[in-house]
Amino acid sequence: MTATTEYAALRLDFHGTHLDLEVAPGADIDGALAFLSTHLVAEEAKPGESDRDPVATLRVHAPDPERLAPPAGTATEDIYLRKSASEFFTVPARRAAVDGREYLECVKTGSRFRFDRAARVIDVTLGAGGHMDLVELVRDLVLKHQENTGAAVLHATAAYRDGEVVLVTGAKGAGKSTVLMELVEHFGYQVLSGDKTVLHELPDGSVVAAGWPDYPHLGYGTIAKYPGLKEIAGIGDDYTPAEGHAFSPLGKFAVDPLPFRDRFPSAPVGVRVAVAALLHPAIGPGERTAVEPLTGSREEHAEVLRANVESAFDGANAGWHHYLDDHRAAHAAQRDRITGILSGVPAWTVTGPGDLTTENVPPAIAGPAGVAR
């Protein structure tokens, strides 16, 4: 099937990665586009205007519980698009492969995908509440293509201000979101990225950072600090976290992204900016927040960064489809250069409860005024 006039044609772009969407009448993707719109540019596609081939054409059909099912009698296997400690973010599915195509059905929603590598087409039909299934597909394709073309993906939040960014990197539960929101709440920053940041090396050897659309997933210790955030997260005043969970990866809450964006403003769409500073938090209970220069050699700093580089190709659920091959090895040297360049950026550790003030924030991060709001 080829696109006809009854299909709306859209083009999604993320810093050199291009996906075409053909959307049938009755196919509602507004929720997915709203989620992605903070970082991906969606434009009406016009024939002959594209200067590059898309990674894939996503053909989104009207809802139909029978469409895109594998042939009767085809064996299926249970997999996950995403598996998380949070039930909200866990997406179980069934997969089948036949005649050179992969078929996938999301168990919770009934959304279906059919992958045709030879035709470079992925057919989609969304079930009730399935817009996040389409988001998961788009994010997976874009990140894998970005890595295949030399980008490094850092497990880091990112705060944007005045054409520069502060990266906050560390393991899950280190306090990246807490530090990000402290910078936004008190020092005039905007949210560029809430979970991972995409890093590109430019032809002149410099490195720039691009944000990434993620669903806010915040611990109670972070949520409770900011007026209005408990209401957005749906947490009542009578909630008490389990012992030790307020500052841990356990017991986190999914926060509706649209009111979250109203509460914590986002950076402009499509920006790629230089990294002005790095913060390495280890947030936890305590009476005092300490922000201290990161010690060690530059190579040791680079190793800290490399330990936080992640990949959509890795992990137990990374192979939920096989539309794109893994070509990261061709760009290993480039990713090492990226972390090597970032190791020269001023960096600090953050310990204690994570309250940032004019007394503990370095001038390079506080800004010229150095006055917290």
pLDDT tens per residue, range 302-333: 999 999 999 999 987 889 999 999 999 999 99
Give 247's pLDDT tier (boundaries 50, 70, 90): low
| Per-residue pLDDT at 1 exceeds 50 | no
Tell me the Cα Rg of the chain.
Answer: 21
Q: How many CB atoms lie within 10 A of CB 158?
A: 30
pTM of the prediction?
0.93
H/E stretch holding 20: strand 17-23
Question: Mean pLDDT throughout 4-26?
Answer: 90
- Contact status, residue 136 vs residue 245, Cβ threshold 8 Å: no
Residue 51 contacts by C-beta under 8 Å, 6 or more apart in sequence? Answer: none
- Contact status, residue 191 vs residue 267, Cβ threshold 8 Å: yes
Amino acid at residue number 288: R
pLDDT at 3 (0 to 100): 46
- Contact status, residue 129 vs residue 66, Cβ threshold 8 Å: no
* Cα–Cα distance, 76 to 103 (Å, whole number): 9
Over the stretch 200-240, which tens digit does the pLDDT of each residue have? 999 999 999 999 999 898 888 888 889 999 999 999 888 88
Ramachandran region, residue 162 (left: φ > 0; alpha: ψ -120 to 50; beta: rest):
left
DSSP for 132-191, written as a single string: HHHHHHHHHHHHHHHHHTT-EEESEEEEEETTEEEEEE-STTSSHHHHHHHHHHHH--EE
Contacts 24+ apart (CB under 8 A), 2-7: 3/59, 7/59
| Per-residue pLDDT at 242 exceeds 80 | no
Is the pLDDT higher at 240 or at 40?
Answer: 40
pLDDT at 244 (0 to 100): 62
